Amino acid sequence: MTTEIYTASVLQYIPVFYIIWSDDLLSASEINVAENAISEDSSLTLADKKLLKSWLDVNNPPKDSVLKSWKQLIANSGVKLVEHNTYPLTAFSEKVAKHYQGEIPFNECIKNIEVNLGIQPNHYNHLFDVQIDLDPKSAQYSAKHIGSILKGEHAQTIDQFRSTLKDPIFSWQIRRNKEDFRQHVLEQVKFLAQKGYGAMAYSEDYDGTDNMEGYAHIFENMIWADGSLAIKFGVQFGLFGGSIQKLGTKKHHNTYLANAGKASLLGCFAMTETGHGSNVRGIKTTATYNKEKDTIVIHTPGKNDNKEYIGNALHSQMASVFAQLIVNGKNEGVHAILVPLRNNAHELLPGITVEDNGYKLGLNGVDNGKIWFDQVEVPKENLLNKYGTILANGEYYSEIKNPNKRFFTMLGTLVGGRICVARAGLGGAKFALTVAIKHALKRRQFNDSVKIQEDLLMDYPSHQLRLTPLVASAYVYHFTLDKMMSLYCDESQPDKRKIETQVAGLKSIITWYAIDTIQECREACGGKGYLIENRIADLKGDVDIFTTFEGDNNVLLQLAAKGVLSDFKAEFNSAGFSTVLKLLSSQLSDKLSTINPVYSNKTDKNHLYNPKFHVHALEYRTRRLTYTLAMRIRGYIKKGIPSYQAFLKVQTHLMTLGKAYSAELAYKSFLEHTNTITDPDYKTLFEKIGTLHALYEIRKDASWYLEQGYLGGTKSKAIRQRVERLCTELRPHLNTLIDGFGIPDHLMTAPIAN
């Protein structure tokens, strides 16, 4: 083989061109980057420039024989690639040129190509001889800085909480016996209460700091210590304490709230019943007002009408019981009543039966149980009467006349819990990703017979593809949940219907994301991931139920979709259809413009990486699904089909819409946040993260987009390739990105991550 003689200036470009053409992923905007660099390179003669530009013609790429000669030329130079150089490709090129033509200066123009095309060593390290480098890490970004972006204005609260978790009481151990485990978790909860974390979301009058947003953050961090801890904490302070705070009035606050926050009054939240999981309005427990004695009698009518899966049931002194309130023979709908369960000696009070739910798939440090009430009498004052009360004259009174609206107003106040569940799921996903990626950055597997060492797991394309998009999504959901909690806490916006509906959908997609992520991490760690010591196993078991509790995901998605259908004007959670049907017409007028074939086949990098494209695609999906859903429902109704049946017929369509809307909302929330980042380098990084998340999301639903003609086959393929490419581009920053999650060393006990 003859090797052409190139000038030193041209020679420098050879490795770059070899890499470019070994991959076929050159779009117009990328060619543009290379062309600009060449044009601006003053070291090149006009002839050099012409030659180099001739190698950039996609319609007439360099011949295979030319590529082979380049490869030969590079190999013959004997130069080795040093991956930890700041610009490894530019440095490598410089040395290759130097080998043949003597000293030349560092070429900024080549550096620009390397940086702007996102060419990373793992694109090409097997093409060249590599100087073995045991710990190649990029120092371009600081994990600490990323961490501070994630913590935002809650940095101090979060940092303090993370230090608190240094206490030996939180040191992680395998606990197999549920009694021991529960006792230990109870002590952890009390410890945190003493430190003031229990009351955090309550007002200052009750020893709190009124900091619900900070509470959500520490809740996410808590799962890093233990899942059972987070859930028991949430039950005590968020659900039990929260029901007093949100559904009770001043007298309840004064009597109970400070004690609940200190965990000196342990309580549970008794809503779900065995016979009625997702259908809270259908619960059977009754709370009957006894006018003569001015008391309320709590009663479980049937065998399967007991309260079920009630967290803290075995440790509680009191329960916030949801029951049908019957006043003067009339059912006023579901209300919450405080019912003492045990005396000071921790003995059950008369009429109360509690049964342990026993061992579960996870969360065995939480004492879940069933509760039956047999004509249990409590004072009238125990009714949490913010939204409905029994007057002194024994009549029922509520400012909200519509019983439906009243019910959903009460439930709505508890939506903060759903955000927290999603946050905890996200925390679990972050932990599992950290373990899996730290492991993959150390673990080597198989090898190229030419090379000395086996490849890092993290350098396999399939491994990058299975983990990197999940990291990107963790960032997206982080900011999404931040925004939701901030809107939820915004008292200038009292009507929370829209947020409640949005949270319903987001809780679904984020908790599903969490369990999928933890599963992927388990498999990515192989047998090591299966050992309890590496923590992923417990996370899997603990987080699994997040898809079910605080609202079953499938049910929540349908609520979200009904919200979209009725433009968020229907009552939240409404099982009825009449309001939705009334409001349907607004969706039917939505005109979607036809997608231009040029647009549906645009595959240029600049287009695919543009958030405007992502938003357009996600919005288009929601609107199209809304329109077609509205059309279908209207069609059924017109034929005289009962509305219940009509909604059953479109059930899977509803769920698809719920997911689509939530995905759109999540990405837009993320973008909003990214736009506030001032440092341009970090902004670029976050935009890239968002792009990966968005393209991955569009890719997952490519069949729908293709069916609609929104994507052409070529564009769909290009998106798939870009997803893989983005994983490669983010590879050098993966370690920084997971360190950015900020899981402290004292909580990261998994041996494979250390």
| 681-710 residues near its own copies, rule: CB under 8 A | 699, 702-703, 706-709
The DSSP output letter for 448 is -
Q: Which stretch binds its own copies (CB under 8 A): 93-101, 250-258, 665-673, 712-720?
A: 712-720
Helix (H) / strand (E) element for 337: namely strand 330-340
Q: How far is the CB of 643 from its own copies (least distance, A)?
A: 9
Q: Which of 21, 172, 627, 682 binds its own copies (CB under 8 A)?
A: 21
Contacting range for its own copies; rule: CB under 8 A; set: 172-180, 386-394, 404-412, 416-424? 172-180
| Min CB(278)–its own copies separation in Å | 6
The reply to whether 465 sits near its own copies by the rule CB under 8 A is yes
Answer for the pair 476, 674: CB distance below 8 angstroms, yes or no.
Answer: no
Among all chains, which residue has been given the structure tokens 């996609």?
A: 58
Looking at 221, 245, 272, 300, which residue binds its own copies (CB under 8 A)? 272
Q: Which is nearer to its own copies, 655 or 665 (CB)?
A: 655
Stretch that binds its own copies, among 3-11, 84-92, 360-368, 730-738 (CB under 8 A): 360-368
What is the separation of C-alpha 41 from the centre of its chain, rounded to a whole number of angstroms? 45
The upper half-sphere exposure of residue 165, i.e. CA atoms within 13 Å in the direction of its Cβ, equals: 25
For its own copies, give the closer residue by CB, 158 or 472. Answer: 472
* Residue 455 CB partners (closer than 8 Å, separation 6+): 444, 445, 446, 447, 448
717 counts as binding its own copies under rule CB under 8 A:
yes
Site size toward its own copies, by CB under 8 A? 89
What's the Rg (C-alpha) of the chain?
A: 30
Rounded-to-integer distance, Cα 410 and Cα 385, Å: 10
d(CA 160, CA 164): 6
**302 sits near its own copies (criterion: CB under 8 A):** no
The yes or no reply on residue 460 touching its own copies (CB under 8 A) is yes
Minimal distance in Å, beta carbon 64 to its own copies?
A: 4
Q: Compare residues 232 and 673 and give the one whose CB is closer to its own copies.
A: 232
Instruction: Looking at residues 639 to 668 of the shown chain, list those that interact with its own copies (rule: CB under 8 A).
Output: 639-642, 644-645, 648-649, 651-652, 655
Distance CA 480, CA 446 (A): 40
The reply to whether 301 sits near its own copies by the rule CB under 8 A is no
Residue numbers annotated as active site:
550
Q: Nearest approach, Cβ of 516 to its own copies (angstroms)?
A: 9
Our finding on whether 134 is near its own copies (CB under 8 A) is no
| Binders in 62-81 for its own copies, by CB under 8 A | 64, 67-68, 70-72
Task: Single out the segment in contact with its own copies by CB under 8 A; choices: 61-69, 93-101, 103-111, 602-610.
Answer: 61-69
Nearest approach in angstroms of CB 646 to its own copies is 9
106 vs 530, which CB is nearer to its own copies?
530
Q: How would DSSP label each residue in 183-200?
A: HHHHHHHHHHHHTT-SST
Give the span between the Cα atoms of 364 and 184, in whole angstroms.
11
Residues 178-207 that bind its own copies (CB under 8 A): 178
500-539 positions binding its own copies, by CB under 8 A: 515, 519, 522-523, 526-527, 529-533, 536-537
> Judged by CB under 8 A, does residue 631 bind its own copies?
no
Compute the residue count for the chain. Answer: 754
Separation between Cα atoms, residue 195 and residue 648, nearest integer Å: 50
* Rounded Cα gap, residues 584 and 658, in angstroms: 16
> What are 337's strand-pairing partners?
321, 383
Which lies closer to its own copies via its Cβ, residue 282 or residue 379? 282
> Cβ–Cβ contacts within 10 Å for residue 489, how many?
18
Nearest to residue 175, comparing CAs of 228, 237, 97?
A: 228
Nearest distance from C-beta of residue 505 to its own copies, angstroms: 15
Rounded Cα–Cα distance for residues 669 and 117 (Å): 27
Cβ proximity to its own copies: between 613 and 647 the closer is 647
Q: Using alpha carbons, select from 454, 373, 413, 19 the residue that is nearest to residue 245.
A: 413
Q: Name residues contacting its own copies, limited to 362-391 (CB under 8 A).
A: 362
Would you count residue 60 as binding its own copies (CB under 8 A)?
Answer: no
Interface positions, 212-271, toward its own copies (CB under 8 A): none
Of 279, 331, 375, 453, the one binding its own copies by CB under 8 A: 279
Q: How far is the CB of 277 from its own copies (least distance, A)?
A: 5
The C-alpha atoms of residue 698 and residue 705 are separated, in whole angstroms, by: 8
Q: DSSP 3-state assignment of 367?
A: coil
d(CA 509, CA 667): 12
3-state secondary structure of 268: strand
473, 630 Cβ separation under 8 angstroms:
no
**Chosen residue from 350, 446, 589, 591 binding its own copies by CB under 8 A:** 446
Dihedral sign for Cα atoms in the order 594, 596, 597, 602 = negative
- Which positions from 574 through 603 interact with its own copies, judged by CB under 8 A? 575-576
- Is residue 176 involved in binding its own copies (CB under 8 A)? yes
Nearer to its own copies, 78 or 282 (CB): 282
- Judged by CB under 8 A, the stretch of 155-163, 205-213, 250-258, 275-283 that binds its own copies is 275-283
Contact between 281 and 273 (Cβ < 8 Å): no
CB 127 within 8 A of CB 450: no
Q: Which of residues 90-129 bind its own copies (CB under 8 A)?
A: 126-127
Among 249, 554, 606, 610, binds its own copies (CB under 8 A): 554
Sorted by sequence, the CB contacts under 8 Å of residue 329 that are 6+ apart come out as none
Contacts to its own copies from residues 718-747, by CB under 8 A: 724
